[in-house]
Amino acid sequence: MGAKDMTVYLNGGFVSQEAAVVSVYDHGLLYGDGIFEGIRIYSGKIFRLEEHLRRFFDSAKAILLQVPLPPDKLAAALQEGVKRYGKDEGYIRLVATRGPGDLGLDPDKCSAPTLFFIIDTISLYPEKFYREGIPVVTASSRRLPADGLDPRVKTLNYLNNIMAKVEAKQAGCIEAVMLNQRGEVAECTADNIFIVRDGVLATPAPHCGILQGITRQTVLELAIEEGISARETVLTRFDLYTADECFMTGSGAEIVPVARIDGRIIGSGNPGPVTERLHHAFKRLVGGQSLAKVR
């Protein structure tokens, strides 16, 4: 992260890196009581801001969290932040927490919500993985069930995803596939997952316990424009192992090919033609920037 070049907004104004601090009593820190969004900047413009803000405020409503700014004012602050950041490409981490309060779970003991965002660079994967694909493993850590914590709420509670990431790293990989409680494919630790079989694009349906990613939705829309058949469905590990192609999508990762899953080579072991086609369509959409270069 290029800390000296970062731009930070905290509770109503832009602050220096040194002043960008929150209380140790903030319930976002103590209990994971909060929400966030990861948003990309391409060619000086915020990518799909309206969709990100809608999900952000939907998440807030779902957990009864009052965001200190209305959507239009928050959008204006984000646009001002991009202007201050001054670079064509970047990444925004937008966060709202319940705010500082007493020790204990009671949200009513919090004085006021905390709202901040950071604008900086991001680099999730080495450039070679966008050319060659990455190996992934299936994690034993399961995706939280929707009746426990709805995955459509993008909360600060990511410990089960982190434990799956730990499993991946222990297996010599950098990413893991997470299954739901029924053993169906849900998503990866921080990204959605797609496969291609016989030219048809498929991805786990919302009811499988996924976060409905903005980049995921963008890829589904691009598939329609490109004349690629696409469906949201139930997938198992067998479907992953026998796929012709596989890739992950996310705001930070963008589109990353998967070359191997649990030791099984996917297709030829290289990014497939549908993956490449969608990769180029995405590049055109965001302004022709190289996905591996925008870091």
Estimate to the nearest angstrom the gap between the alpha carbon of 90 and the chain centroid: 15
List of the chain residues with pLDDT < 70: 1-4, 288-295
Identify the pLDDT of residue 4: 64
133 and 68, same structural domain?
no
Say how far apart CA 152 and CA 175 lie, in whole Å: 21
User: How many domains does one find in the chain?
Assistant: 2
- Catalytic hit among 73, 154, 165, 293: 154
Cα–Cα dist 215/12, whole Å: 29
Q: For position 294, what pLDDT does the model report?
A: 32
The verdict on residue 9 lying in a domain is yes
Angstrom distance (rounded) from CA 56 to CA 60: 6
Same structural domain, 22 and 59: yes
Question: 3-class secondary structure for the chain?
Answer: CCHHHCEEEECCEEECCCCCCCCCCEHHHHHCCEEEEEEEEECCEECCHHHHHHHHHHHHHHCCCCCCCCHHHHHHHHHHHHHHHCCCCEEEEEEEECCEECCCCCHHHECCCEEEEEEECCCCCCHHHHHHCEEEEECCCCCCCCCCCCCCCCECCCHHHHHHHHHHHHCCCCCEEEECCCCCEEEECCCEEEEEECCEEEEECHHHCCCCCHHHHHHHHHHHHCCCCEEEECCCHHHHHCCCEEEEEECCCEEEEEEEECCEECCCCCCCHHHHHHHHHHHHHCCCCCCCCCC
Question: Is 234 contained in some domain?
Answer: yes
Q: Indicate if 149 and 68 belong to the same structural domain.
A: no
Are residues 230 and 200 in contact, defined by beta-carbon separation less than 8 angstroms?
yes
135 and 116 in a common domain: no
Tell me: do 139 and 230 sit in the same domain. Answer: yes
| 295 located within any domain | no
CA distance 109 to 106: 6
Q: What is the pLDDT of residue 2?
A: 47
**Do the domain assignments include residue 47?**
yes
CB 37 within 8 A of CB 52: yes
Pairing state between β 34-42 and 90-97? antiparallel
Q: What is the domain extent for residue 51?
A: 3-120
Q: Can you tell me the distance from the alpha carbon of 293 to that of 191, in angstroms, rounded to the nearest whole number? A: 19
User: How many CB atoms are closer than 10 A to CB 63?
Assistant: 16
Residue 10: give its domain's CATH number. 3.30.470.10
pLDDT at 291: 42
Residue 293 located in a structural domain = no
The whole-model pTM stands at 0.93
> Of the candidates 92, 120, 148, which is a domain's last residue?
120
Residue 35 lies in a domain: yes
Domain membership flag for residue 290: no
pLDDT at 1: 42
Q: For residue 72, tell me if it sits in a domain.
A: yes
Tokens of 57: 């405020």
Predicted local confidence at residue 122, as pLDDT: 85
Give the pLDDT confidence of 83-138 residue by residue, as tens digits.
999 999 999 999 999 999 999 999 999 999 999 999 999 877 888 999 999 999 99
- CATH code of the domain in which 194 resides: 3.20.10.10
**Catalytic residue status for 45:** no
Instruction: Judge if 166 and 39 occupy the same domain.
Output: no
